[in-house]
């Protein structure tokens, strides 16, 4: 569908009947009130949280159509012709929203704002409040998805609406890509959209998640993500009655031997330019920084990094994490087959052949008795830091926060990689408050009691406004 949906109005109601205020008036593109805009983004965030679009990997889960409807209501006050909206469903309820403000110059950049609408499951027993209430407590919005990444999706929608309500069209396109299924790999979201409706996603540069946290006195902006090279290791033994274990060849025991080797194995350290910049931003002690830049001494120094040591370990090498172990079906039968599933995260440039060789090195003399099968994966991706968009992000974030920017690599993955694979620069954006260290950021993503302060929502909103004006205003 194209154009606005519903009546033209300056106020939209969420499912609970609460007002979602418009972010500024008709001239908000150039003179938006930061406080008013932040209030709209916070109210929209709360509405998105309450829809509980939980994605557990089952094709019927997610039901992101509910959050699509929230965004449609929020954008419904835009005059006809100022905004093009399309809803795509890859399966019943698995909906994504593409909303575009067209610019006046077809040669100008088309800036994509990529946000996802789904959230990961919760364990209610681990939460001190209702994980889908969207409550505001002491200036913080509580709920699953508050940090990952509904606050940014709300900020993206607010800036898009401001652009659509402005008295003049921007020079280039501004596109909201609010997609389904990011948390389970994107097969019902961006993967499907790029395959089935690539024309609707026409952008030349992209901002998404995985940025804005503080590395010391710097603000991190994501320019790269590790790849995924999942593997299944199959071991075989000889089944038999468990009452006679002498001389048995149990697949369970062989799994244990493989697990022991995995626990002791460390892939080679590989340090690149991003590593050095991470150390410079995060480590103030010159002696510790020197040790961290030395591959021989790095591991001995990791423990001195405190809560960020795990991240530092992850981005300095390929990592192998056993996640699923299975052998046997009943307690009185020696299993004849077992398996270990590995989550393997790779650095840029790592090939599938190199991953398989790494596993053979780990297995040693066991390699001939273990079958290696490939699971789903993708290559590591990165975007250069010499693009106009990255420069605009750097200027905006520094102007709003007063802090310099440092490019970083995400240990996990996001939908942004799909645009990088197409040669489109994509960056992990965000701007969180000074107390948001990387450790705090990681604690809240997929964790209990997820929440974000309203001040950080306002910072991200103001930084994004500056970027959009810089690139297409």
Q: Is the pLDDT assigned to residue 344 strictly greater than 50? A: yes
Average pLDDT, the chain: 92
| 35/28 Cα distance (integer angstroms) | 12
| pLDDT tens-digit map of 365-410 | 999 999 999 998 999 999 999 999 999 999 999 999 999 999 999 9
**Does the predicted model carry a pTM greater than 0.75?**
yes
Among 10-14, 130-134, 376-380, 395-399, the least confident range: 10-14
State the distance between the two ends of the chain, measured CA to CA, in whole angstroms. 26
pLDDT in tens, 279-308: 999 999 999 999 999 999 999 999 999 999
Go through the chain and tell me how many residues it has.
Answer: 473
Q: Averaged over 352-371, what is the pLDDT? A: 97
pLDDT reading at 138 higher than 60: yes
pLDDT number for residue 7: 27
Determine what percent of the chain is predicted with pLDDT higher than 90: 90
At 37, the pLDDT band (50, 70, 90 cuts) reads confident
Q: Which long-range contacts (CB under 8 A, 24 or more apart) does 239-242 make?
A: 239/333, 239/334, 239/335, 239/336, 240/333, 240/334, 241/332, 241/333, 241/334, 242/331, 242/332, 242/333, 242/334
Q: Does 15 score more than 80 pLDDT?
A: no
Q: What is the mean pLDDT of residues 429-443?
A: 96
Record the tokens describing residue 213, joined without a space: 């946290």
Q: How far is CA 364 from the centre of its chain?
A: 36
Q: Which residue segments constitute the domains of the chain, with CATH numbers given?
A: 11-224+383-472 (3.40.630.10), 227-378 (3.30.70.360)
Kindly indicate the confidence band of residue 36, based on its pLDDT and cuts at 50, 70 and 90.
Answer: low
According to the model, what pLDDT value does residue 77 have? 87
> Given this model, what pLDDT does residue 278 score?
97
Task: Please state, in angstroms and rounded to a whole number, the distance separating the CA atoms of residues 85 and 7.
Answer: 15
Non-local (6+) Cβ contacts of 21 within 8 A are 11, 36, 39, 40, 43
CA atoms within 13 A on the CB side of 55: 29
Instruction: Report whether pLDDT(260) > 70.
Output: yes
Residues of the chain with pLDDT > 70, as a percent, come to 92
Residue 354, pLDDT score: 97
């Amino acid at each position: 569908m194209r154009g606005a949906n519903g009546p033209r109005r300056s106020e939209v109601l969420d499912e609970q009947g609460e007002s979602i205020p418009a972010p500024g008036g008709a001239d908000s593109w150039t003179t938006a009130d930061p406080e008013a805009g932040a209030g709209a983004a916070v109210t929209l965030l709360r509405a998105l949280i309450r829809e509980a679009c939980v994605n557990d990997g089952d094709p019927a889960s997610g039901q992101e159509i509910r959050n699509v409807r929230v965004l449609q209501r929020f954008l419904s006050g835009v005059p006809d012709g100022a905004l093009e909206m399309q809803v795509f469903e890859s399966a019943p309820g698995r909906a994504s929203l593409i909303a575009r403000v067209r610019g006046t110059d077809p040669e100008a950049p088309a800036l994509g704002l990529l946000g996802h609408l789904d959230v990961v499951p919760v364990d209610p027993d681990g939460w001190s409040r209702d994980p889908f209430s969207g409550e505001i407590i002491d200036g913080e919005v509580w709920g699953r998805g508050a940090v990952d990444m509904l606050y940014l999706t709300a900020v993206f929608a607010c800036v898009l609406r401001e652009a659509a309500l402005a008295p003049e069209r921007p020079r280039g396109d501004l596109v909201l890509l609010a997609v389904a299924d990011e948390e389970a790999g994107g097969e019902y979201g961006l993967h499907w959209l790029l395959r089935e409706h690539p024309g609707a996603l026409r952008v030349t540069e992209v901002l998404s998640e995985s940025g804005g946290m503080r590395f010391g006195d710097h603000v991190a902006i994501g320019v790269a993500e590790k790849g995924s090279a999942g593997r299944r290791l199959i071991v075989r033994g000889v089944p038999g009655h468990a009452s006679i274990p002498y001389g048995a060849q149990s697949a369970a025991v062989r799994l244990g031997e493989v697990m022991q080797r995995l626990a002791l194995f460390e892939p080679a350290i590989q340090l690149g330019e991003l590593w050095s910049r991470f150390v410079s931003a995060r480590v103030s002690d010159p002696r510790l920084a020197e040790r961290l830049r030395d591959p021989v001494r790095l591991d001995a120094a990791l423990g001195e990094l405190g809560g960020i040591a795990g991240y530092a370990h992850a981005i300095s090498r390929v990592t192998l994490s056993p996640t699923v172990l299975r052998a046997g079906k009943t307690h009185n039968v020696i299993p004849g087959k077992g398996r270990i599933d590995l989550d393997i995260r790779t650095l840029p440039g790592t090939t599938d052949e190199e991953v398989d060789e790494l596993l053979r090195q780990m297995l040693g003399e066991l390699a001939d008795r273990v079958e290696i099968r490939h699971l789903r994966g993708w290559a590591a991706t990165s975007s250069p830091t010499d693009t106009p968009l990255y420069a605009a992000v750097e200027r905006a974030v520094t102007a709003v926060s007063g802090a310099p920017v440092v490019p970083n690599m995400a240990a996990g993955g996001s939908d942004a990689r799909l645009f990088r694979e197409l040669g489109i620069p994509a960056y992990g954006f965000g701007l969180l408050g000074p107390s948001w260290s990387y450790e705090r950021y990681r604690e809240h993503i997929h964790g209990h009691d997820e929440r974000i302060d309203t001040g950080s929502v306002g910072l991200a909103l103001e930084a994004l406004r500056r970027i959009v004006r810089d690139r297409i205003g």
